[in-house]
Amino acid sequence: MSEALDKGAVEALLRKGPFHEWLGLTVADVGEGTIEIHARWRPEWVVNTAGGYVHGGILATLVDLTADWALVSKTGKGVPTIDMRVDYHAPAMEGDLKAVGKVVKLGRTFSVCEAQVFNMDGKLLASGRGTYMMPQQK
């Protein structure tokens, strides 16, 4: 990518996806191979009303998209996920979430990135790593 995108431009690209818009995503920071994304709490995230905890699919989604968008400094956009692994560390309860991603290995065809999801108090809720397909060079 020839020019760096600021966080406002990255957020505008990210939020073009209706699902990302529904998640209430905002970009708090973007750097060279790094990103921090916040997700605004939605009651629809709750999987068990008695326990009040968030469905693991929401956490997995945040791991995937944050790891993927850590590549934005190189690709200028999200790229397809080839493989992903998620570890759950603690239940997510009501409240906004913060996800931090970084590029682990930048490749020409595939790249590896990782992400961590925290509550806003800094408690680690989930972490994971993904492999992403890089755009073909022309």
**pLDDT the model gives residue 5:** 82
Within 10 angstroms of residue 13's Cβ, the number of other Cβ atoms is: 17
Domain count, the chain: 1
**pLDDT the model gives residue 2:** 38
Q: Considering only CA atoms, which of 21, 117, 112, 18 is closest in space to residue 66?
A: 117
Q: Phi-psi region for residue 102, left (φ > 0), alpha (ψ -120 to 50) or beta?
A: beta
Confidence band for 135, pLDDT divided at 50, 70 and 90: confident
For 28-78, the pLDDT digits (tens) are 999 999 999 999 999 999 998 899 999 999 999 999 999 999 998 888 888
Q: Report whether pLDDT(101) > 50.
A: yes
- CATH code for the domain of 79: 3.10.129.10
- Residue 2 falls inside a structural domain: no
**pLDDT the model gives residue 74:** 86
Q: Considering only CA atoms, which of 24, 120, 110 is closest in space to residue 67?
A: 110
Q: Report whether pLDDT(26) > 90.
A: yes
- Residue 138 falls inside a structural domain: no
- Residue 53 falls inside a structural domain: yes
Side-chain-facing half-sphere of 98: CA atoms under 13 Å: 11
- Residue 17 falls inside a structural domain: yes
- Residue 119 falls inside a structural domain: yes
Q: The domain containing residue 86 runs over which residues? A: 7-133
- Residue 45 falls inside a structural domain: yes
- Residue 1 falls inside a structural domain: no
Confidence band for 123, pLDDT divided at 50, 70 and 90: very high
- Residue 105 falls inside a structural domain: yes
